[in-house]
Amino acid sequence: MVHWTCCAGSTLLIPSGPNNLKHLHVILNNPIDLRHLGYAENSCLLVGISTVPVSAPFDNSCVLHPIDHPFIIHERFVYYRHIRLERASDLVTKAGSGFFVPKETINAISLQRIIDGLHSSMQTPIWALDVPLD
């Protein structure tokens, strides 16, 4: 069983997309009680990281480079349109079982760039802007 801590900057490979391949996801906040907003207690907001398309438009609010995280070897973009809110306990359970694969923590500067992009992206769902990230 893998020990993984769910906190701001933690990353996981999570099955997603049309082929259910494992994509890197970044946790944006420490677990927080969001029952006052109608969500679960100890919830975390997470975003997926996707390949920059060669000849198609994409959300360039936050583009990541290999220097941002060891798993990133080519330019990637943060896919704010499919931002997720998950219970921290569910993330820990799936990481411990191997269904989600823990990866290295993202550095603080890159995490802040992702959070800044969340607020500037036209693709970010309105509900996600209500989640406190500090």
Q: State the pLDDT at residue 82.
A: 94
Are 104 and 7 within 8 A, CB to CB? no
Q: Is there a domain that residue 36 lies in?
A: yes
* Locus of tokens 């996981």: 12
Beta bridge partners of 5: none
Rounded to the nearest integer, the mean pLDDT of the chain is 92
Q: Is there a domain that residue 2 lies in?
A: no
Q: Is there a domain that residue 20 lies in?
A: yes
Q: Is there a domain that residue 6 lies in?
A: no
Domain that holds residue 119: 11-130
Q: Is there a domain that residue 65 lies in?
A: yes
Q: Is there a domain that residue 3 lies in?
A: no
Q: State the pLDDT at residue 17.
A: 76
The Cβ of residue 134 has, within 10 Å, a number of other Cβ atoms equal to 6
Write the pLDDT tens digit of every residue in 74-112: 999 999 999 999 999 999 999 999 999 999 999 999 999
- The structure's pTM equals 0.93
Q: How many domains does the chain have?
A: 1
Q: Is there a domain that residue 21 lies in?
A: yes
Write the pLDDT tens digit of every residue in 108-131: 999 999 999 999 999 999 999 989
Q: State the pLDDT at residue 41.
A: 86
Q: Is there a domain that residue 76 lies in?
A: yes
